[in-house]
């Protein structure tokens, strides 16, 4: 017991400061928020390519305007985006992204679904000139 007391006194104690994270009860997340989080990196790469901008090119997703289920267990998600400009004339584009979830489940028809998880841009339209 004396040995334990000496060890406790002689060895410095470490303390850890925990950061307070937002409580999940305080956050409100929609299905659209989750889908946007999945597809935004793919759209971001395409917007940078379309406008020859750097990674700091600013654009904003307005809303998801449609989701279509395809026969091969993939989804086409159409998103309207807004690209602000320095002269005040914002550009509006429509991007269709195909989200292909993995076909790992035994409940999925393997003849129609034979892909791994993949997200790709299938159509990009400039709505404003």
DSSP string, 46-73: HHHHHTT--TT---EEEEEEEEEEETTT
Q: Would you state the structure tokens that stand for residue 52, as one six-digit string?
A: 């020859």
H/E run at residue 33: helix 31-50
Residue 94's φ and ψ, nearest 5 degrees, are -120, 120
- pLDDT, residue 19, reads 65
The predicted structure's pLDDT at residue 101:
87
Contacts of 82 (CB under 8 A, 6+ apart): 59, 60, 61, 62, 90, 91, 92
- Listed as ranges, residues in the chain with pLDDT below 70 are 1-26, 54-56, 129
- pLDDT of the residue at 84: 82
Q: State phi, psi for 100 to the nearest 5 degrees.
A: -115, 100
Q: Using DSSP, state whether 9 is helix, strand or coil.
A: helix
Task: Provide the β-strand partners of residue 60.
Answer: 82
């Amino acid at each position: 017991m004396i040995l334990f007391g000496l060890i406790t006194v002689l060895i410095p104690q470490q303390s850890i400061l925990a950061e307070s994270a937002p409580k999940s009860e305080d956050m409100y997340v929609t299905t659209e928020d989750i889908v946007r989080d999945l597809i935004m990196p793919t759209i971001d790469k395409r917007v940078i390519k379309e406008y020859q901008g750097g990674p700091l090119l600013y654009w904003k997703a307005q809303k998801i305007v449609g989701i279509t289920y395809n026969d091969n267990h993939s989804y086409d998600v159409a998103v309207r985006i807004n690209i602000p400009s320095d002269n005040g004339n914002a550009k509006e584009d429509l991007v269709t992204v195909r989200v292909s979830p993995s076909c790992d489940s035994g409940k999925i028809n393997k003849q129609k679904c034979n892909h791994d998880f993949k997200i790709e841009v299938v159509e990009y339209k400039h709505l404003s000139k």
